[in-house]
Amino acid sequence: MTDDKEETATELAMERTDWAEDRTIMANERTFAGWMRTGMASVALALGMKAVFGDFEPVWAAKATASIFIVLACYIFFTARQQSCATQTRMNDHAAEPKSNASMTITATILSIGAIFTGVILWLL
What is the DSSP code string of 13-81?
Answer: HHHHHHHHHHHHHHHHHHHHHHHHHHHHHHHHHHHHHHHHTTT-SSHHHHHHHHHHHHHHHHHHHHHHH
The residue-averaged pLDDT of 80-94 equals 83
* Number of domains composing the chain: 1
Which carries the bigger pLDDT value, residue 76 or residue 5? 76
The residue segments making up the domain with residue 74 are 2-124
**Can you give the pLDDT at residue 55?**
77
The residue-averaged pLDDT of 80-102 equals 81
The residue-averaged pLDDT of 35-45 equals 96
Average pLDDT score over the chain: 86
Which pLDDT band holds residue 38 (cuts at 50, 70, 90)? very high
**Can you give the pLDDT at residue 50?**
78
**Can you give the pLDDT at residue 26?**
84
Q: Which residues of 85-94 are buried (b: 16+ CB within 10 A; e: fewer)?
A: bebbeeeeee
**Can you give the pLDDT at residue 90?**
80
Which pLDDT band holds residue 40 (cuts at 50, 70, 90)? very high
